[in-house]
Amino acid sequence: MASIVAILSSVLIFSAFSLGSSLSLNYYDKTCPHAESIIANAVKNAVSKDKTVPAALLRMHFHDCFIRGCDASLLLNSKGSNKAEKDGPPNVSVHAFYVIDSAKKELETWCPGVVSCADTLALAARDAVVLSGGPSWDVPKGRKDGRTSKASETITMPSPAFNIAQLQQSFSQRGLSMDDLVALSGGHTLGFSHCSSFQSRIRNFNATHDIDPSMHSSFAASLRGVCPIKNKPKNAGTTMDPSSTTFDNTYFKMILQGKGLFSSDQALLSNPKTKELVSKFAGSQEAFRKAFVNSMIKMSSITGGQEIRKDCRVVN
Ligand code: HEM
């Protein structure tokens, strides 16, 4: 049964997207020359009021690209009996959709029907990284927006409980390598996680261990402190790394200390190749920034859409 699900999910993933070679850096130069500054302003505005926005936008772009390619399928609202991706389990904590709405509204005023929601999100994710002190890069553009969004397909998102083999499979199904996996996991330098994403590691881990043995014991103790057993406050959780609004390489340093938050983070030490990259990025901010940019461009080039949506929440 598990193998049937695995085969079905790869067919689903492969048939739904292609690595887009049709994207270009100067795509809107003639049709909407101010597109990038309009988006950058909307992001900057939102970030000045809410410091959780950059992490949210970066994760939003990743979650969009992993289902049907970067086609803004994640931005569509559920309608009638169709439950959209947005309302699938891995996406319930994805937020700040309003930032894309406000950028898109401005874009529609200046150049109606020209800039896709998928490009808007790809650019906003880059701006979010820059505003957090991370690297900048030129984003290839020309993505189209999809017309299909199904919550059921979010089952193919990687889980925080994944081991290295499962992570490798999930990334390679989308044309991404082990190098991409390590570099992009560095996105966990930003943001916040709810207890539900790591609670299985800190209590009743398995028959022999109460706590995941790959987790540093004092780190586990502090996480148990923020995630009490009984009074389960829904919003309880912790920052992804101690400098969670700054894009830096602390995430990799934490993993080397056994302080990766998710199994999927800590699992990067369980393979010699990925372990070497974690050490490299922990030792060199520059190496991480370079690799992150490369892999972001690769992930963000998985295309899949058909139209330029007018409103990012509904198909035309
Ligand atoms: C490798 C597989 C990955 C897994 C299993 C994973 C899983 C998760 C989980 C469980 C959360 C916490 C959700 C919550 O409790 O609210 C999270 C947060 C986050 N993830 Fe990932 N993630 C992965 C890769 C990525 C990638 C590739 C990026 C971006 C390049 C990314 C960016 C983020 C960010 C920025 C947050 C914080 C979101 C916020 O504060 O709103 N993740 N991830």
For the segment 268-302, what is each residue's pLDDT rounded down to a tens digit? 999 999 999 999 999 999 999 999 999 999 999 99
Which residue's alpha carbon is nearest to atom 41 within ligand 1?
56
User: Relative to the CA of 61, which ligand 1 atom is closest?
Assistant: 29
Catalytic residue numbers? 63
User: Which residue type is seen at 268?
Assistant: L
CATH fold of 164-297: Peroxidase; domain 2 (1.10.420)
Annotate 80-147 with DSSP letters as a single string: TTB--GGGSGGGTT---HHHHHHHHHHHHHHSTTTS-HHHHHHHHHHHHHHHTT----PPPB---B-S
Q: How far away, in angstroms, is 59 Cα from ligand 1 center?
A: 6
User: Relative to the CA of 193, which ligand 1 atom is closest?
Assistant: 15
For ligand 1, say whether the CB of 183 is within 6 Å of any of its atoms: no
- The 8-class DSSP code of residue 77 comes to P
3-class DSSP assignment, residue 305:
coil
Domain ranges for the chain, please list them: 19-157, 164-297
pLDDT of residue 104: 98
Average pLDDT over residues 243-261: 98
Position of tokens 């990012």?
312
For ligand 1, say whether the CB of 168 is within 6 Å of any of its atoms: no
For ligand 1, say whether the CB of 58 is within 6 Å of any of its atoms: yes
Q: How far away, in angstroms, is 194 Cα from ligand 1 center?
A: 11
For ligand 1, say whether the CB of 301 is within 6 Å of any of its atoms: no
Q: How far away, in angstroms, is 3 Cα from ligand 1 center?
A: 26
> Could you tell me which CATH class the domain 19-157 is placed in?
mainly alpha
pLDDT tens for each residue of 92-131: 999 999 999 999 999 999 999 999 999 999 999 999 999 9
For ligand 1, say whether the CB of 243 is within 6 Å of any of its atoms: no
Give yes or no for residue 53 having a pLDDT over 80.
yes
- In terms of Cβ atoms closer than 10 Å to its own Cβ (0-12, 13-18, 19+), residue 224 is middle
Top pLDDT among 19 and 198 is at 198
For ligand 1, say whether the CB of 59 is within 6 Å of any of its atoms: yes
Annotate 189-213 with DSSP letters as a single string: GS-EEEGGGTHHHHSS-SSS-SS-T
Which residue's alpha carbon is nearest to atom 16 within ligand 1?
193
User: Relative to the CA of 190, which ligand 1 atom is closest?
Assistant: 35
Average pLDDT over residues 23-30: 97
pLDDT tens for each residue of 167-181: 999 999 999 999 999
> Comparing 19-157 with 164-297, is the CATH topology the same?
no
pLDDT of residue 234: 79
Mutate to test the pocket of ligand 1, among 53, 57, 62 (most ligand atoms within 8 A of CB): 62
For ligand 1, say whether the CB of 202 is within 6 Å of any of its atoms: no
For ligand 1, say whether the CB of 192 is within 6 Å of any of its atoms: yes
Mutate to test the pocket of ligand 1, among 154, 167, 171, 193 (most ligand atoms within 8 A of CB): 193
Average pLDDT over residues 24-47: 98
pLDDT tens for each residue of 181-235: 999 999 999 999 999 999 999 999 999 999 999 999 999 999 999 998 865 677 8
